[in-house]
Structure 1
C-alpha cells in the first residue's frame, strides 16, 4: 500500500462517521469510548448545577477564553472556544484548501468535515510494522499540500509523536493542524514537552485543537478550544455560528482550567500508566498484539479474529471499539479503553474465555 493515498477512490462515509459511542448499549461494560470516567467529577457537577439559574442570559465565551489562555500561558486572542473539537474541525474545513491531507490511522472527524465541505482529501498512511510512527514518513507529503492534519497522541493508535516529527511537516504555504484532544493525559499544560500549544500561538501555519470532554467526562456538553496565531483565530471566529458554545460549556471550561480542574487532570494523568500497563499485560496474556508504548487513555490491539471476538464479547457484556472504520486499519484491529483495574480484569477474564486462552497466574 502506498504511503500517500490519493482521492481517486471515494471513502465509505458511513465508516468515517462511525464513533465508539454506537458500540455501547445498556448493560455493556464500556471499553469502546475514550471518556475517562462514567460521569463528571462531583465538584464539576456542582459548578454546573449552580450555573443553571443563569441560563436566561446569552453565553459569553470571554471568561473561558481567558481561563484557557492562562492555563497554557498564551494571549487570549490566540484562543477560540468551540463546541467540542468537532466544531473546530468543521470551521477549519470551511477554509479554501487546495490540497488537504490527513495522517492516518487517526480520528476520522477531521477528514469527514473536510469532505463535507467539498474538499478532496489525501491520506498519509502510517504503518503497523513500525508502530505507526510518523518518523521519516513526513518526507512522503507532497510539497504542495497546504493542510496536514495529525493527532498527537493519536486516536486510535495511542502513538505519541515527537514534537520535531510534527514540526517537520510545517513549511511555508502550509497549515499543520495538530489534534491534541488527549494531550492532557500526557503532560500538564504548564510544563509542555510534547504539546505544541504555546508554539501555535506565535507560529503562523500551526494550529492546535484541544478538548475538555474526555478527561472531565463531559462529552455531552461539547467544549473544546483552538490555539493559533491571532489572524487565524479571528478568521475562524468569523465562521463560527453565534453562541455555538453554550453557557454551561463556558462555565465548565473556566472550572476545568482552574485549580480543581488542574488537580483532577493531574489525578487522571497519574493513574493512567498503571491502567495501561495492566491492560497491555492482560491483552498480551490472551493472545492480542498491542501497539506499544500507548500514551493515550486507550490501546490499539490486533488479533486475527478481532471482529468475531468483538461480537462475542458483546454477548458477554463488554463493548470494545472496532478498528476497521479507521483508514489504514482492517477488521483484525480493536481499540480498547483503559479502565480501573477491577474492570480491566473482568474484561481480560471474558476475553480469555472467549478466545480459549490458558489461565494465567493471579494478577
Structure 2
C-alpha cells in the first residue's frame, strides 16, 4: 500500500548519500559503483582525449553524442539531453514550473531535496513492504511524479504497467533509471517509450566506475527537454564526459555491459544466499532484488559495529519510510561478501 505524507522531514537530512558512509580506508559496501576503476579500454579512450581539452566542447560533438545515445534507445537525437550525471537532471526539475510534486519513497532523496529547496509543494508517498507500487493514491492535482526503477535502496523493479497507471494529462512522470542498465532484459524500462509525459534519467557512472566524471542523460519529449535545460550554462557537459557517454553506449560496450549484468546477478544471488543464512540472528534480506544492491533488515547497532571492523554499509534511516533497522548492502564479489557476512556473524 501507499501512504501519503506531507513534507515534515529535515531538508538537509535528504542529502545523506552513500559516499558519506564510505569513509576512506573502509571496505565499501555503501556506494553502488561496479568495480574499483573503469575498464582499461575506457581509460585508454578517455586518455586519448586529454590533448583536446584546450578546446571548448563543440556543438557537433554534443550532437554526435546524442545521436549515439538515440540509436541505443531507438529514439531521435532531439529526444536526448546530455547531463553532468543523472543527478543534474533532478536539479533541473524546477524548470518545469511544477506546482505540486509527488515523490515515491523509499527512494533516492536528491529529487525531493531539489524540489523542496525550490519552494515547490512536495508530497511523499511512502511504500510499505514489499515496496511495490500496489494501490495508488497520487493526488489528482500532482503535476509531477518522481520514482526510481529499480528503486534505491529497496532494489524493487516496478512494472511498466504499474508506472503507466501514474500517468495522466497535465502530469509529467520522471523515472530514475540510474541502475536499469544492469537489469537483465530491461523489459520495464521507459527508455524507448516515445511519450510526451515521461522523462527518463539514465547514468553510466555506476556500471563503468565513472562516478567521478559525472555522466548521464535524459530521454523525453523534445519540448520538455528544452524546458528542462533552459537555465543551464553554456558548455554544461565536457568533452571527456561526452567521450565516455559515446564509448559506453556503442555496440561493443553494450556487449560488455551484458557480461557485467550477468556478473552482478550472480554475485547478488551469492550475497542474498549468505545473508539468508543469518536469519536466526535477526538478519532479513528483502527480495526479489533487481539492482546492484540489496535492502537488509538488521539488529540495532549493526551498522556501527561493521564500521569498527572496517566495513561501510549504507545506513537507511535517512530514506523516508525506513529506519535504522535497515541497511543497504552493495553487491560485491564473493570474497568481499564473505568479509561482511563474517563480521555480521561476529556481532550476532
TM-score range, shorter chain: over 0.9
Where does 1:92-107 land on structure 2 (aligned, <5 Å)?
A: 92-107=93-108
Question: Pick from 342, 345, 351: which aligns with 2:344?
Answer: 351
1:298 aligns with 2:299: no
In 2, Cα distance between equivalents of 1:20 and 1:119: 26
Q: CA deviation at 1:351?
A: 1.1
1:230 aligns with 2:217: no
Question: Pick from 37, 47, 51: which aligns with 2:45?
Answer: 47
In 1, Cα distance between equivalents of 2:224 and 2:328: 34
SS at match of 1:257: coil
Q: Is the 8 A contact 1:94 1:114 kept in 2?
A: no
In 1, Cα distance between equivalents of 2:187 and 2:276: 30
Q: CA deviation at 1:95?
A: 2.3
Where does 1:56-75 land on structure 2 (aligned, <5 Å)?
A: 56-60=54-58, 61-75=62-76
Task: Give ranges in structure 1 of 5+ residues lacking alignment.
Answer: 356-363
Once the two structures are superposed, residues 68-118 of structure 1 have per-residue CA deviations (whole angstroms, 9 ceiling, x without a partner) of 111111000000000011110111123211110100000001111111212
Q: CA deviation at 1:144?
A: 0.9
Q: CA deviation at 1:291?
A: 1.2
Which residue matches 1:335?
Answer: 328
In 1, Cα distance between equivalents of 2:287 and 2:74: 32
Q: Is the 8 A contact 1:77 1:230 kept in 2?
A: yes
Q: CA deviation at 1:63?
A: 1.9
Q: Is the 8 A contact 2:95 2:227 kept in 1?
A: no
State TM-score, norm by structure 2: 0.95
Once the two structures are superposed, residues 10-34 of structure 1 have per-residue CA deviations (whole angstroms, 9 ceiling, x without a partner) of x212320001011112221100000
SS at match of 2:227: helix
Q: CA deviation at 1:142?
A: 1.1
SS at match of 2:235: coil
Question: Pick from 188, 191, 198: which aligns with 1:197?
Answer: 191
Which residue matches 2:272?
Answer: 280
Where does 1:102-181 land on structure 2 (aligned, <5 Å)?
A: 102-128=103-129, 131-136=130-135, 138=136, 140-181=137-178
Q: Is the 8 A contact 1:209 1:224 kept in 2?
A: yes
Q: CA deviation at 1:2?
A: 7.3
In 1, Cα distance between equivalents of 2:299 and 2:233: 46
SS at match of 1:132: coil
How many residues in Structure 1 have an aligned counterpart in Structure 2? 342
In 2, Cα distance between equivalents of 1:349 and 1:304: 15
In 1, Cα distance between equivalents of 2:92 and 2:104: 19
SS at match of 1:121: strand
In 1, Cα distance between equivalents of 2:256 and 2:343: 31
In 2, Cα distance between equivalents of 1:135 and 1:77: 34
Task: Give ranges in structure 2 of 5+ residues lacking alignment.
Answer: none
State TM-score, norm by structure 1: 0.92
Which residue matches 1:185?
Answer: 182
In 2, Cα distance between equivalents of 1:14 and 1:99: 20
